[in-house]
Amino acid sequence: MMSRRDFLKIGGSLLAGSLVGDHGMASAAKSFTGNPDRYGMLSDLTRCIGCRRCEAACNKANNLPEPKTSFEDESVFEEKRKPYVADVQAYTVVNRYYDSNGKPVYRKVQCMHCDEPACASACPVVAMKKSKEGPVIWNEDVCFGCRYCIVACPFHVPAYEYSNAFTPKVQKCFMCYHRISEGIVPACAEACPVEAITFGKRSELIKLAWTRILSEPDKYIDHVYGEHEAGGTGWLYISGVPFSQLDFPMDVGTTPYPEYTKDFLSMVGLTLISWPALFGGIYLMSNHRAENVQDEVVDSEKEEDKL
């Protein structure tokens, strides 16, 4: 959860953004010029041992509700859990799969922190936002709960507090934005005993990912999930098992999501300018025509109205 101060900071930048108009936003949709030093995370699924210590650390760092069973309980692996749904109140969960030899493979699930997030381009009030540090953050002070972010996210991440009547929140992993802002590593990366989660600059993590793949080509498959998916994500994965077997969405493409609505949005201005001219013109023409016609039918009982 973000601190009050972060909210104020974001609020301030929002105000500034609205004063300079939508110039900044429009250019953001054109080509991605994100902060080159933005942070990301790298999950190495070949290292993960399914100890769930990241889950426990996340729970503590974000003051989340106590889980039903302890973080040592392995029975949770019997089903594929999603973070933050009615019964699993967590920002991240680890699920278990098996490779072709029957060896368990664990996959950590959480927000991907997309470079150009679908959720942020959906949000009509900029509550969802890619921070310059890298995490995709959410501003409780402006969110009005339309849930378009949830509709849009290709990774099925954000969740809504449907049972909260007065302060329902959008919930997802914020990459420990509050810790990052203070220069502290995200809780899960810190807690992992086998360094399956690495925090760092995204550009360097990509190099690290490929170094690992290239130095042990038999251990890894030749794919860094997140390097290009959905236009690139802040969270990256490398694995020894094809990602499709671990329930990773394989249909997200490589187009950044804001691109899908860009053409439509750029049409808007054109319509606003050309429609009045077009229909005003038609009005003048048809008005003229109607007058001529009227001269002929005045006497008949036909309805002629021109108000």
Partner 1 sequence: MIKFPAWINEYIDWISDKLFMGLTIKEYMKRLLTPFNIIAGLIVFVGLYFLIQRYTQGLVAVTEASNELPWGLFLGIGLFTQVPYSSVGFVLGTAVYIFGLKKYHPVLKNAILLGFLGYFFAVVFILIDIGRPWRIYYPMVISFGTNSVLFLVAWHVALYNLVQALELAPPAFEWLGFKTLRRWAKIITLALVISGIMLSTLHQSALGAMFLLTPGKLHPLWYTSFLPWLFFVSCIPAGLAYLIVVSKLTQIFLKDKADSHYLKSLDNISLGLGKASALILITYVGLRLYSVAQENVWQYLNTPYGHWFFVEFSLFAILPFLFYYGVQRKNVGFVQLTALLTIFTIALNRVNTTLIAFNWQLPHHIYWKEGVVLIAVLTIQLLIYRWVVNRMPILREHPDYISEVHLPSAGTSVASKGS
Site for partner 1, residues 108 to 137, rule: CB under 8 A:
118, 120-127
Q: Which is nearer to ligand SF4, 2 or 149 (CB)?
A: 149
Site for partner 1, residues 252 to 271, rule: CB under 8 A:
252-253, 257-258, 260-261, 263-265, 268, 271
Which residue among 172, 178, 179, 202 contacts ligand SF4 (CB under 6 A)?
172
Which residue among 80, 156, 207, 219 contacts partner 1 (CB under 8 A)?
156
Considering the complex, what minimum distance in angstroms separates the CB of residue 154 from partner 1?
Answer: 6
Which residue among 71, 91, 106, 155 contacts ligand SF4 (CB under 6 A)?
155
20 in contact with partner 1 (CB under 8 A)? no
Return the one option of partner 1, ligand SF4, none that residue 98 interacts with (CB less than 5 to 8 A, by type): none
Instruction: Give the separation between CA 290 and CA 101, rounded to whole angstroms.
Output: 81
Return the one option of ligand SF4, partner 1, none that residue 307 interacts with (CB less than 5 to 8 A, by type): partner 1
Which residue among 2, 10, 94, 119 contacts ligand SF4 (CB under 6 A)?
119
